[in-house]
Amino acid sequence: MTDPQENKLSMYRATFTVLDANAAEYAGVAALGTQVGNFSNSIDLIGQLAQIQTADTSGIPIDKKMLQQQMVDMAMRVAGAVKAFASDTNNAALRQQADVNQSTFTRARDDLRDDVAQTMHDLGNTNIASLAPYGITAITLTGLQTRIDAYRAVIGAPRTARVGKSTATDMLAAEFARADTILQDRIDGLIEQFKDSGTTFYSDYKKARRIVDTGSQPPAPPTPPPPGP
């Protein structure tokens, strides 16, 4: 990761710490709880993508189960929306294509699970103009594709070559953009209702949202010796 990305990830983690510590305060705001969950998933994925990016030298194991579960969960979310849309529009063929469940992934071989997820992504992409009322947008599909590519990058199958230009660096950029969208377009707005809550939640959140440059600074130039007599 670049220094700016490292700084941003530190901000993400500090912000999530505040959100997690105050979960009881916003428990009645379901939309905020959902977005905090999405934000947490993005932070986890960014950490794993960073390991993929430096896998040859980091020595830190990559959590393949986490990558798979995030891919499956988001694929199921897209599939559910497509299936609902197909049912509403009496599109039996599309409904059948989107009719997958957790067992569909469990029964598939490791190197085929990404294919099932990719099919759900492509179905969503084909019908994206109609899926907003069902909770699926372009940013959702971008998130799913990043998770598919991350899974492919670690399973060691021949189809990993299909990742092509979607390197770990590209995937990191995409997931940072997704996390920014979750924060800026969703969580930041929902937090405003807690401004006058009488607790420190709002102010703690605002402080955590500040990006601090924690990168190494160049050394100061040496102090010249005093002039001689």
> What does the domain layout of the chain look like in residue ranges?
3-208
Whole-number pLDDT of residue 110? 86
pLDDT at 130 over 50: yes
The DSSP 8-state label assigned to residue 127 in this structure reads T
Average pLDDT on 46-60 reads 71
Q: What is the pLDDT of residues 173-201, one digit of tens each?
A: 999 999 999 999 999 999 999 999 889 99
Write the single-letter amino acid at 174: A
pTM score, whole prediction? 0.76
**Lowest-pLDDT range of 30-34, 55-59, 106-110:** 55-59
Half-sphere exposure of 113 (CA within 13 A, CB side): 30
The closest alpha carbon to 213, from 6, 17, 1, belongs to 6
Whole-number pLDDT of residue 187? 97
